[in-house]
Structure 1
Amino acid sequence: MASNPPAPEAPYAPSQWSADSFGYGDHRTDEGPWEEWNPTADSVRPVRGKHRVAKQRGGGFARSSTVLGVGVIAAVSAGGMASANTGKAPVSISIPDLPNVGSLISDDEPAPETASALSAFGSETAVDTTDADDSGAADAGEALRSRIMAQVESQHTQYEVKAAADAKKAEADAVAKAEKEARAKAAAAKKKAAEEAAEKAEAARLAELAKQYTLPTSSYTITSTFGQAGSLWSSGYHTGLDFAAPTGTLIKAVHSATVTEAGWAGSYGYRTILTLDDGTELWFCHQSSINVSVGQKVATGDVIGRVGATGNVTGAHLHLEVHPDGNPTGIDPAAWLRGKGLNP
């Protein structure tokens, strides 16, 4: 940049200033002296660096970042001044999207799309976009509201579908449960009816058997039961059922049978053994007398002897034992008699 040579100092001439040029009535001694100022190389800081001016094409803005910045600042300043002077709403400036800022300040030729964007920027006029912004905001809000309502509706629909499915499942479960309970009740009733029928049939069978069987004596008291432990018995426990009765009380055949033994049996005293048709042996022990002989056939209720106290005893009684199939080990005579419809 060229520097101006210093100007010669001008003489102070108060008479040169007039009231017409400054609006004062007369000369003021507190002002002046006035001098003309010309910038010089010493007073002005030299500008360093160099500026590159981009080529302009088609009347658009230059590619230089400096020129573009000045243009944008000028446009913004003009808008601000217009707004301040007129009192109108601020005018928004529309700036097109630029592909690359580096391309704007490069010395190379701009890309076609960059040149088009710059040309459009140079020719575009400022418009008031306040209404457009409001409309866009309203459209965005309406879209958001619609999306939210759609989600709510979808969730509500899903809830209704699930509720309907749950209700249907609950109804099906209730029906299944009712059917299961009905089947269980029917099965229980059927089982109970079958049990009652079986009990009736058994009662009828026992009643019929009771006609074929009888207790071995009458006017008795049960004094010892099967399996009872004690030192009175050589085996350590009682092997039969004792009917205590006065000596001479009649002993009867429990069922039709054959006399297979009749006589003395050591600790059993006088004993009579009856063998039934199924092979079961009935032992009648401690008799005072025997009224039958071996090989004799007897019927239910026939007298076969009398109660006594012979053998290993502590008092008069009938000792009865039951041996299925002639097994030496006997079973509980009371249970066997109950199975024949008799209750000792």
Structure 2
Amino acid sequence: MIHWRVSLSWILVWSCSLLVGIAILCFGYFDNMLSHFQQLEPSKIEHVTQAAAKQETLPRLHSSKTGLALESQAQKEKVPNKATLTYKDFPSPVQGKILRGIGNCYLAAIESYMFHPGEDFLEPEGTVIRATHRGKVIFAGHDPLLGEKVVLDCSQGWIVTYGCLENIWVKTGENVEKQEMLGQVGFNPGAEGINDQPQLHYEVRHGNTIQNIETGGSNL
């Protein structure tokens, strides 16, 4: 029994000595690391700090950019595609009798034949003419053949001309909405005049193709 107690005592002594030695070694290591860090130049310390901050920020930036990209894609998906326009989107603005259609015709004012690119409707002088489709005014003023006229760019290559007018109410560069007032039917005794009657010249083009709004066909 005494021998066992002596052995246990020696075990406790050696264990305490080992723990003290480990503590001394750890203290010396950390003290050495602290001294080394204190000897670093301020610029190096700042560089290390910035590098660590950059590593922390990169994932956040990546996440932010990804979120913006997803949000932008979602917004694009919400925007509906513009409907493709056809001649049906440009009906006649009046219901008057057609005096002259699309095709070659003889103009007494110039004593010659020429191609007539639109349709002339018999209408009382002063009849209010409204836009059949929204668009931008690319011309508003006097024309040698059509008198006062308004030309609208209705997008997608569609150009609409309203001729033989008076009292034009729009200006070049303006945007007009569907059914907005453009002017009034005037008396035009020029080359487009037929038997000195007030009329509306209505002309629809898609690119270089003249559209026949009555038949739905096209004329070059």
Task: Give me the TM-score of the superposition, normalised by structure 1.
Answer: 0.33
Q: Distance in 2 between matches of 1:237 and 1:277?
A: 25
The alpha carbon displacement at 1:231 in A equals 3.7
The alpha carbon displacement at 1:255 in A equals 0.6
Alignment match, 2:205: 323
| 8 Å CA contact 1:215, 1:252 repeated in 2 | no
The alpha carbon displacement at 1:236 in A equals 2.6
2:56 maps to 1:215? no
Change (3 A) 1:225 1:333: same
| 8 Å CA contact 1:251, 1:306 repeated in 2 | yes
| 8 Å CA contact 2:120, 2:200 repeated in 1 | yes
- RMSD (Å) for aligned C-alpha atoms: 2.8
Give the counterpart letter for 1:318 in structure 2.
L
Query: Helix, strand or coil: the match of 1:230?
Result: strand
Given candidates 321, 333, 343, the residue that maps to 2:212 is 333
| 8 Å CA contact 2:131, 2:182 repeated in 1 | yes
| CA-to-aligned-CA distance 1:128-153 (integer Å, 9 cap, x gap) | xxxxxxxxxxxxxxxxxxxxxxxxxx
Given candidates 97, 117, 133, the residue that maps to 1:255 is 133
Equivalent residue runs for 1:1-344 within 5 Å: 213-218=90-95, 220-232=96-108, 234-310=112-188, 311-312=190-191, 313=193, 314-325=196-207, 327=208, 331-335=210-214, 338=216
Alignment match, 1:170: none
Give the counterpart letter for 2:105 in structure 1.
A
| CA-to-aligned-CA distance 1:138-178 (integer Å, 9 cap, x gap) | xxxxxxxxxxxxxxxxxxxxxxxxxxxxxxxxxxxxxxxxx
Query: Helix, strand or coil: the match of 2:145?
Result: helix
The alpha carbon displacement at 1:324 in A equals 2.0
What 5-or-longer segments of structure 1 have no aligned partner? 1-204, 340-344
Q: Distance in 1 between matches of 2:212 and 2:174?
A: 23
Moved more, 247-256 or 303-312: 303-312
Q: Distance in 1 between matches of 2:164 and 2:107?
A: 18
Query: Helix, strand or coil: the match of 2:114?
Result: coil
Q: Distance in 1 between matches of 2:157 and 2:107?
A: 31
Give the counterpart letter for 2:94 in structure 1.
T
Q: Distance in 2 between matches of 1:229 and 1:286?
A: 17
| 8 Å CA contact 2:92, 2:202 repeated in 1 | no
Query: Helix, strand or coil: the match of 1:223?
Result: strand
| CA-to-aligned-CA distance 1:67-93 (integer Å, 9 cap, x gap) | xxxxxxxxxxxxxxxxxxxxxxxxxxx
Give the counterpart letter for 1:226 in structure 2.
I
Which has a greater percent of strand?
A: 2
Q: Distance in 2 between matches of 1:321 and 1:235?
A: 19
What 5-or-longer segments of structure 2 have no aligned partner? 1-82
Number of positions where the alignment pairs a residue of Structure 1 with one of Structure 2:
127
Task: Give me the TM-score of the superposition, normalised by structure 2.
Answer: 0.50
The alpha carbon displacement at 1:264 in A equals 0.6
Between 1 and 2, higher relative CO (CA 8 Å, sep ≥ 6) is seen in: 2
Change (3 A) 1:213 1:266: closer
Q: Distance in 2 between matches of 1:215 and 1:240?
A: 11
Give the counterpart letter for 2:140 in structure 1.
A
